[in-house]
Amino acid sequence: MILTGPEITDAAADGRIVISPFRPDQVNPNSYNICLGDRLLTYTDEVIDPYRPNPTREITIGEEGYVLQPGRLYLGHTVERVGSDLYVPLLFGRSSVGRLGLFVEITAPIGDIGFHGQWTLMLSPVMPLRVYPGMKIGQIMFFVSLGQVDLYEGKYQSSAGPQESRYWRDVAVPAT
């Protein structure tokens, strides 16, 4: 079952869901609009290696915005800190943003029960696109879970700002 807008509002009020800051005007019929934060990360090497840490460059998005370029992956973040110990959050790009040619969160829309923090957004434009801090970029929905809950205690817990991949922490480096 998916939570309706009024239920998201009630759950945010009584603590079943954390959305901070919470703005009632961002509640939709069955989701909550999330906004783009003011920082981006990009990988600086030509080849990204999942078995090793990869260097990144941080970009601050000013009031004038920042133009995303096609063929680049940008890691952004939500303004809002979002989480729940009861519901499964799913984050998708807004259709209005998709119609501008920006893919948001294509491969990792599901959040874990127990994660609390700013979400890292994977941003991939199909053509140059100016983005602005605070623009509505996605929407998050909450689903009821069944069964025993094991709360998330992973490496991205309490994230603030965009987070680069830490995949390399979970794997043994292959012999070369």
In a domain, 96, yes or no: yes
In a domain, 55, yes or no: yes
b (16+ CB within 10 A) / e for 163-172:
bebeeeeeee
- Tell me the pLDDT tens digit for each residue of 25-56: 999 999 999 999 999 999 999 999 999 999 99
In a domain, 174, yes or no: no
In a domain, 157, yes or no: no
User: What is the number of structural domains in the chain?
Assistant: 1
Residue 139 domain boundaries: 5-146
Q: What is the CATH number of the domain that holds 73?
A: 2.70.40.10
Interstrand relation of 129-131 and 66-68 (parallel, antiparallel or unpaired): antiparallel
In a domain, 154, yes or no: no
- Tell me the pLDDT tens digit for each residue of 90-105: 999 999 999 999 999 7
In a domain, 50, yes or no: yes
In a domain, 11, yes or no: yes
